[in-house]
Chains A and B, each alone.
Chain A
Amino acid sequence: MNYTYFYKEKYDVIGSFHPAERYDIFIATYNFTDRVKKPPKNIIADEKIWIMLPEYQDDVFLAGKTQYYLKGTRDYEGVRKFCSSLNLKEHGKVCIDSTGFMVPHLLIMLRCLRNHVSRPIVDVMYSEADRYADAEKTIFSDSFSAVSQIEGYEGRHVSKMETDLMIIASGYDHSRIRDVANYKKRAAKIQLIGFPSMKADMLQENVLAASTAELFSVCPLSNSIFAPAYDPFTTAQAIKDYIDKKQQERAITNLYMAPLSSKPQALGMALYYLWEDGLNKPVSIVYPECEKYVQDNAIGVGRIWIYKNVV
């Protein structure tokens, strides 16, 4: 698969965001931020469904809107049931606004839609923040529980572990970087750095977080993979190119990917898994589960992207 063949639309400001596509179903996960609430108004869809986590139940924004409630951040069965309940026509058009989604929910939804009997055409939307409330000190999660494989993205792993590899898409949170690195201690670590970053200063902030997590003693910056933080297709391609090259040098026994950075890079890892037949390979995507996820730290609406026909 050559991921550069995929197509994306870019809207530099929300004022210019008027996508022409008409969707059968539009799905978003709600939180308080403008980048979740505002752009979907301009999406044309026969049905718009808002996925709800318990803490957002009574918000006035949601009055009159179709809502689907999840029991909590780990209600993966709820996500699967939601997908099974979708009434889609053959090759129906679905748009998922990934902006407010938790990474595991987004990835499980993509897996489900890929398997859906109607074989829908799925676009994924993402709205960048103008900035984050606390810059490099922004917290996205707290009260860590455990790292585990994301349901539906588990691999056919084996007992040979000599050349295990973990690709960590490093985000801001050095604690989470350390958590996933410790989850597979034996694996060699490679960082996926978002470059170009969404904003100019975010690259340095990411590198700082990785340095704090002490990744550089086992994974020098010069050995990193670089892919734009906003582009899932280039991310998937960069991962593929790196893995293909490494496989020629020496076969990788098990590959783990940890999407700790931007949503588009998480999508890129998911695309790599799904399109490269990760189901039949020793490849999985892992994620740190926490008790608390901070969703409301983004301010404003930056660029808006629509990634076309991803599954």
Chain B
Amino acid sequence: MAEISNPFDITKAVDLPDELINSYWTNFYADGGFEQMLQPTSLTPMIIRGSKGSGKTHIMRYFSYELQKLRYSTHLAEGLSQDKFLGVYIACSGFNAEKYSGKGVDDNRWSILFSYFWELWVGERMVFYLEDLRRENIISQEDEEITVRRILDKFDRGADYSITSFRQLDDFLLDKQKDINYEINNFLYDGKPYPQCNILFTAPTLTYGIPNILRDHVAFFKDKIVLYLIDELENFSVLQQQLIQTIIREKPRACTIRIGARLYGVKTYCILGGAEENRPGSEFEPIVLDQFLREHNSSVYYDFIRRVCNNRLKVVLGFDSDGGDSIEKYIEDQSTEGLLAILTEKRNTQSKSYFNQLRSNLQLAKFEKSQIDVIIKNISYGNDLLIERSNVVFFYRLWKEQRWNGKKLKDLVEASEIVRNESDRYSKEPTKDSEHGRILDKFKMDFVDILAREGRETIPYYGFDKLVKMSCGTPRTILNVLKHAFKNEYFEKQHAPFVDHHTISLKSQKFGIDETIEWFYEENRIPSVNGKNYVDALMRLGTYLRKLRFSCLPPESSINCFSIIPERLSESARKTFDELESHSYLINVNSRRDKNTGELRKGYQINLAILPKWDLPISIRGVLELDKNLAEMIFNLENSQEDYERETNAKVREYNAPFAEMKIDPLPLRFED
């Protein structure tokens, strides 16, 4: 049997050839979306930031000339006339920009050299495309000669008027690139104090000059603009980015600019000389792509991801998504009822760990075995795991508060009797307006997860709906999960999923999720500074949230969200926090005013893609407030691990029986009067 290709094998747009960029293209809405976002003919520059895998490169490449040519093939002129732009894609990673720094040369000189190299690069790219348009007879020979001459006229010196064609000009600009590279690579070994280059023109001679020349002298471009798609800006230093900011600020009407960068990729908004700064909403429009995707209606995002996946299946496996086939049908899911049935079945053969824990807690509090047996008997509730689990939480609450309906309790046996009576009442009439009703309304999904964990079942992160949520506005995340899930399923069952109605099992989904967690850390590695590993703070946070979630009496339901006032953090903690946010480990979800101080508390969650690492839920419900001290313990890595554990353990003790400091003397069976 021929091997079936994995439709999700390639997850990065850079690894896709142009044909697949086109084939895999999925617009955000079924009838549009990214054109409205990018607005390719709007003259206002745009800076698009986004996490790795959010789709920046895919979108920018889609609007490039290479893809325009692929889309319009034999009707290129008509297609470009319809688009009204020529997309010029510039990948900053190709510049090897890091060598334009250091080596004992001052910044001013590097700035001049880099600006010149930028012009040579952009000029060459433009001329390369014009050469292709000439080959397509969209630009006439006469236009070519005029354009080349006008470009040479822009040189401050060294214009070679024997050059009359785009081809010759392209070769000339490539040679100049090589010359400056050679000089920069070798000046140290040649004993020179700095690179010595013949600068033929300054920025933005060609960047602006060529679009202006096209508009003024080439009929085809009279009503069209040049769309510069400058991707991967994070590869440029602060000084180099000042050049780009200057270009944004001073651009003419013949061109427009879209810049793509990682969330942390824009290092400055200052222009060269540092005198002025570009501002969002003024000199440029800012977009954060994964936020754009996340903040849309969840059904719109779900539909988008579904079509992204279906597109892959269509191209690689011939999926008939127009005929009703859709990926969600092939991703196994499990209902809550189904999972509870499995757990109920299991508990007949396995001991109930929550009762073991309760017994252990009562023993630690020095209760007699006979009393413990009575308590547990009262709290047990037949085959209804949810009521029984609610009983445990209710009991712990009574243990902590020592009161019920305004009356002080005699002892814990009475507490267990109250629990019993309330559960009987709820069982006969399950209303939300009862203790159990209120508990289950808040904690039901937590109970399901906790019961799964305690019953040695996987916490249910599976099903297409949940996988979409966990992608957290980053399509590459779900592609990665499916890539590994596909591989695992194929390996285990010796049959490819999606073919002949074969599905992706829960087990393979778990495999895909686990692999994706490892991949996420590798992909989003934060460069270390002075030995600091910022991700250690994330471990502290996740571990703390997990301890709270699985405590006897969790402070909130569905703990995965916390609120914080970042401005109150120390410099060290703030730096760690900002790095985690800019590398997408922490996602800003909502904000609200502190009820006491009125200060803005920002809500964050750990990126859903890696939440399973700590068995945390993916739905947002309760928000945990992190006070300043705790936030410092977590995010300030100058605090030792021992200090962090001491502080957080003290905090977690508030939510675990016996809800107080352990005393040496045994507690009485009765509460103190």
A-side residues, CB < 8 A to B, are: 77, 80, 111-112, 115, 142-146, 148-149, 151-152, 154-161, 164, 175, 178-179, 182-186, 214, 217-218, 254, 279-280, 282, 284, 290-292
Chain B residue at minimal CB-CB distance from A152: B189
Does A146 lie within 8 Å of B128, measured CB to CB? no
B125 within 8 A of A: yes
9 A-B residue pairs with CB within 8 Å: A143-B531, A148-B98, A149-B99, A152-B185, A158-B177, A161-B91, A175-B522, A186-B14, A186-B91
Does B182 lie within 8 Å of A183, measured CB to CB? no
Does A186 lie within 8 Å of B531, measured CB to CB? no
* Given known A-B contacts A143-B531, A291-B530, A154 and B185 have beta carbons under 8 A apart: yes
Give B100-127 as 1s and 0s: 1 = Cβ < 8 Å from A's Cβ atoms.
0001100000000000000011001100
* Given known A-B contacts A157-B96, A158-B178, A185-B15, A77 and B189 have beta carbons under 8 A apart: no
* Given known A-B contacts A154-B184, A156-B181, A175 and B94 have beta carbons under 8 A apart: no
Number of contacting residues on B, CB 8 A? Answer: 38
The 9 A-B residue pairs with the shortest CB-CB distance in the complex, in nearest-first order: A143-B528, A185-B14, A156-B178, A154-B185, A156-B181, A159-B121, A159-B124, A148-B98, A217-B9
B-side residues, CB < 8 A to A, are: 9-10, 12, 14-15, 91, 93-94, 96, 98-99, 103-104, 120-121, 124-125, 128, 174, 177-178, 181-182, 184-186, 188-189, 519, 522-523, 525, 527-531, 533
Chain B residues near A254 (CB-CB < 8 A): 94
Does B178 lie within 8 Å of A154, measured CB to CB? no
Does B527 lie within 8 Å of A144, measured CB to CB? yes
Does B182 lie within 8 Å of A156, measured CB to CB? yes
Chain B residues near A164 (CB-CB < 8 A): 94
In angstroms, Cα B522 to Cα A158, docked, is 30
Does A158 lie within 8 Å of B96, measured CB to CB? no
Chain A residue at minimal CB-CB distance from B185: A154
Chain B residue at minimal CB-CB distance from A282: B178
Chain A residues near B94 (CB-CB < 8 A): 157, 159, 161, 164, 186, 254
In angstroms, Cα B177 to Cα A282, docked, is 11
In the assembled complex, how far is the CB of residue A187 from the closest CB belonging to chain B, in whole angstroms?
Answer: 9
Chain A residues near B14 (CB-CB < 8 A): 185-186
Does A144 lie within 8 Å of B93, measured CB to CB? no
Chain A residues near B182 (CB-CB < 8 A): 156, 279-280
Chain A residues near B527 (CB-CB < 8 A): 144-146
Q: Mostly helix, strand, loop or mixed at chain A's interface?
A: mixed
Q: Mostly helix, strand, loop or mixed at chain B's interface?
A: helix
Does B531 lie within 8 Å of A291, measured CB to CB? yes
In the assembled complex, how far is the CB of residue A166 from the closest CB belonging to chain B, in whole angstroms?
Answer: 12
Does B533 lie within 8 Å of A143, measured CB to CB? yes
Chain B residues near A148 (CB-CB < 8 A): 98-99
Chain B residues near A185 (CB-CB < 8 A): 12, 14-15, 93
Does B174 lie within 8 Å of A158, measured CB to CB? yes
Does B177 lie within 8 Å of A159, measured CB to CB? yes
In angstroms, Cα B519 to Cα A140, docked, is 20
| Sample of 4 further A-B pairs with CB below 8 A, known A77-B104, A144-B527, A217-B10 | A175-B525, A178-B523, A186-B14, A279-B186
Does B99 lie within 8 Å of A292, measured CB to CB? no
In the assembled complex, how far is the CB of residue A157 from the closest CB belonging to chain B, in whole angstroms?
Answer: 6
In angstroms, Cα B525 to Cα A157, docked, is 27
Chain B residues near A77 (CB-CB < 8 A): 104
Chain B residues near A291 (CB-CB < 8 A): 528-531
Chain B residues near A161 (CB-CB < 8 A): 91, 94
Chain A residue at minimal CB-CB distance from B519: A214
Chain A residues near B174 (CB-CB < 8 A): 158-160
In angstroms, Cα B525 to Cα A146, docked, is 11
In angstroms, Cα B91 to Cα A1, docked, is 35
Chain B residue at minimal CB-CB distance from A174: B522
Chain B residue at minimal CB-CB distance from A146: B527
In angstroms, Cα B96 to Cα A111, docked, is 20
Chain A residues near B120 (CB-CB < 8 A): 159
* Given known A-B contacts A158-B174, A160-B128, A151 and B15 have beta carbons under 8 A apart: no
Chain B residues near A282 (CB-CB < 8 A): 178
In angstroms, Cα B523 to Cα A178, docked, is 8
Chain B residues near A151 (CB-CB < 8 A): 103, 188
In angstroms, Cα B103 to Cα A151, docked, is 9
Does B189 lie within 8 Å of A111, measured CB to CB? yes
Of the candidates B104, B124, B125, B185, which one forms a contact with A155 in the assembled complex, judged by CB atoms under 8 Å apart? B185
Chain A residues near B15 (CB-CB < 8 A): 185, 217-218
Chain B residues near A111 (CB-CB < 8 A): 189
In the assembled complex, how far is the CB of residue A256 from the closest CB belonging to chain B, in whole angstroms?
Answer: 9
Does B533 lie within 8 Å of A149, measured CB to CB? no
In the assembled complex, how far is the CB of residue B460 from the closest CB belonging to chain A, in whole angstroms?
Answer: 27
In angstroms, Cα B522 to Cα A284, docked, is 25
In angstroms, Cα B4 to Cα A143, docked, is 39
